[in-house]
Structure 1
Amino acid sequence: MVRVHGGFANRMYRLDTDQGSFAVKELNLLDRRWAYCAEDVFRFEQAAFAAGIPMPEPISAGHHTLVHRWVEGEKMPEAPVSPAYAFEIGEILARIHALDVAWTHVSIEDPTSRDWPELAARATATGQPWAGELTSQVETFLAIADFVDTCERPGPVVLTHKDIQPWNLLAREGRPVVLDWELSGMLDLSSELGSTALSLAKGPGFDDVKPAIFRSVLNGYVAGGGVLPPPGPSWFVFMISGWLGHTRWNILRCLAGVEPGTGPDLALSHESVRNGVRGLPELFGRLPELEALLR
């Protein structure tokens, strides 16, 4: 097997055999932020693949390793996609949400962590390169945690992918292929649509959000038979919550000061922390602008 670098949470390998090529993913179990329900996700993937959703064929799943058939395609840059690509992603989401798949796993969400002052103090004491930036944003991170815990989710709740971002997509002959389904589960519909549409409509920051691309995702969803939920901040709370948890998780990995045996490289964890410390306050501050995309 050959290591494929760049994963944000797990480790990926390519395995070439006389039966074809496969993507073998070694799951990071040492410091997961939630339990992984392998059997439920695998059954969901099988149903999606059988329904013609463009994705790698699921081969096997265990609590330590996932295997899919390797799919060739172009990696998607973190940049606004084409209107046609965005529209098709919306259609794909509508088809995913229409699948009739039993979901036995019940997720229990813990209250959002509020230990940001302690983390900033530890970062300063250990000389982390981003300690000053984190310290200056502690109050903002506490406000973000309050927002995540108090934002009203209007529903409906759907079984979905939960992580359709540029780094989980390929383009094959210009059309989408959806990768990395292991975060699948139940999610408020507005959060899934808002996270997906915003990630496809912008670059690395928030200065170049393309409203037409954002709207193309929603138009595709309606064309695929979906019904849009009411506008509001709930469209972006899951994206903010996920990024907040991802940033804190990587801070803890950096504070440990050792190269972890599984999951992302330590250098990638530092990069993720810097991106979160700089990007999350900006995203949170632009909520009113983002809500205007829904009107």
Structure 2
Amino acid sequence: MDLSPLGVPVGPMARVHGGFANRMYRLDTDQGSFAVKELNLLDRREVYRAEDVFRFEKAAFAAGVPMPEPMAVSRDTLVHRWVEGERVPEEPVPAAYAFEIGEILARLHALDVAWSHTSTEEPVSRDWPELAARATDTGQPWAGELASQVDTFLAIARFVDTCERPGPVVLTHRDIQPWNLLAREGRPVVLDWELSGMLDLSAELGSTALSLAKGPGFDDIRPAVFRSVLDGYVAGGGKLPPWGPSWFVFLIGGWLGFTRWNIVRCLGGVQGSTGPELALSHESVRNGVRGLPELFGRLAELEDLLLR
């Protein structure tokens, strides 16, 4: 991408570490500071629709959603104006912060933005026995744990494939997690819109609310924070869908696909020119192999807890 329209650089473009799939740089020019994101297109789990996402971002920014201003887009690069703020730790957020996230979602879902692609969810893979065998044959450090959980991963795949989604389907961010948020004077700023697309409303609300209501595991879940997201959504003009397991199916399915993607990267054993370092992929596999069975096993408990 030609970055000259952003102004004359006042120093070299600097790598900003901390992301996962993509690579981020900060560019300071005589016209301000910009976040330049190099997109990983080599081994993405789904097609990235750069122009559609950029159009959605522009509409959200114009509607007052707190986010970095989208500046430019190409097939493999995104540019936003740089925003200062505090990183949001992976722990339950304050209730007021959660409430405002709910309001933001309601504002997003009310936007009238053309989106020609009805679904971007990847197919559910059932090749867990084969992956476990390859992991064992190649001596992966997590091979034993994966092999012991093959039946559980097959059950999770069946759940994701057969869980009924009540609708409606909305155009939304699809990835509001603590690592995609900043806090500026205690209020949210929404980052990383690359996964935007159509999604069942219950899945978006459940994934967002649970991620903001818990820590890294599932031992510290704050039902009041979960409900604050929903209260904010209603206050912002949204209508809640029927309660049920569909509220968590996108979170579980996304984590399942993410774990499998990292397993395949580790089995390949070659560091790509884009995307995460292999050590980070190994860490993600271990987290998924241990965390997904726990989440799936506690699904009924979570539904009961969060309904109180």
Using the size of structure 1 for normalisation, the TM-score is 0.98
Displacement after TM superposition at 1:7 (Å): 1.6
Question: C-alpha distance in 2, partners of 1:54/1:108?
Answer: 25
Equivalent in the alignment of 1:28: 40
Displacement after TM superposition at 1:109 (Å): 4.5
Displacement after TM superposition at 1:241 (Å): 0.5
Query: Which moves more between the two structures, 106-115 or 233-242?
Result: 106-115
Question: C-alpha distance in 1, partners of 2:15/2:122?
Answer: 34
Question: C-alpha distance in 1, partners of 2:236/2:288?
Answer: 34
1:47 aligns with 2:59: yes
Equivalent in the alignment of 1:63: 75
Question: C-alpha distance in 2, partners of 1:243/1:34?
Answer: 14
Note the alpha carbon deviations across 1:159-216, whole angstroms, 9 max, x for none.
Answer: 0000000000000000000000010000000000000000000000001110000011
Question: C-alpha distance in 1, partners of 2:100/2:153?
Answer: 35
Equivalent in the alignment of 2:307: 294
Alpha-carbon RMSD across the aligned residues, in angstroms, is 1.0
1:162–1:185 CA contact under 8 A, matched in 2: yes
Any gaps of 5 or more consecutive residues in structure 2? Answer: 1-12
1:90–1:216 CA contact under 8 A, matched in 2: yes
Question: C-alpha distance in 1, partners of 2:121/2:233?
Answer: 28
Equivalent in the alignment of 2:219: 207
2:99–2:232 CA contact under 8 A, matched in 1: yes
Equivalent in the alignment of 1:278: 290
Equivalent in the alignment of 2:264: 252
Displacement after TM superposition at 1:6 (Å): 2.2
1:127 aligns with 2:172: no
Write out aligned runs for 1:169-188 (5 A): 169-188=181-200
Partner-residue secondary structure (3-state), 1:46: helix
Question: C-alpha distance in 1, partners of 2:23/2:119?
Answer: 24
Equivalent in the alignment of 2:30: 18
% of aligned pairs identical? 84
> Counterpart amino acid of 2:290?
R
Which of structure 1's runs of 4+ aligned residues deviate more than 2 A?
A: 105-111
Equivalent in the alignment of 2:235: 223
Which of 19, 22, 45 lines up with 1:7 in the alignment?
A: 19
> Counterpart amino acid of 1:212?
A
Displacement after TM superposition at 1:125 (Å): 1.2
Relative to structure 1, the CA distance from residue 128 to residue 208 in structure 2 (aligned partners, 3 Å threshold; closer, same or farther) is: same
Question: C-alpha distance in 1, partners of 2:251/2:145?
Answer: 21
Question: C-alpha distance in 1, partners of 2:78/2:26?
Answer: 12
Equivalent in the alignment of 2:168: 156
Question: C-alpha distance in 1, partners of 2:172/2:120?
Answer: 17
Note the alpha carbon deviations across 1:193-251, whole angstroms, 9 max, x for none.
Answer: 00000000000000111000001100110111110001000000000000000000011
1:6–1:264 CA contact under 8 A, matched in 2: no
Partner-residue secondary structure (3-state), 1:14: strand
Question: C-alpha distance in 1, partners of 2:185/2:49?
Answer: 33
1:26–1:66 CA contact under 8 A, matched in 2: yes
Note the alpha carbon deviations across 1:113-159, whole angstroms, 9 max, x for none.
Answer: 01111111111111111111111111000000000000000000000
2:120–2:197 CA contact under 8 A, matched in 1: no
Partner-residue secondary structure (3-state), 2:15: strand
Displacement after TM superposition at 1:107 (Å): 3.3
1:7–1:263 CA contact under 8 A, matched in 2: no
Relative to structure 1, the CA distance from residue 108 to residue 81 in structure 2 (aligned partners, 3 Å threshold; closer, same or farther) is: closer
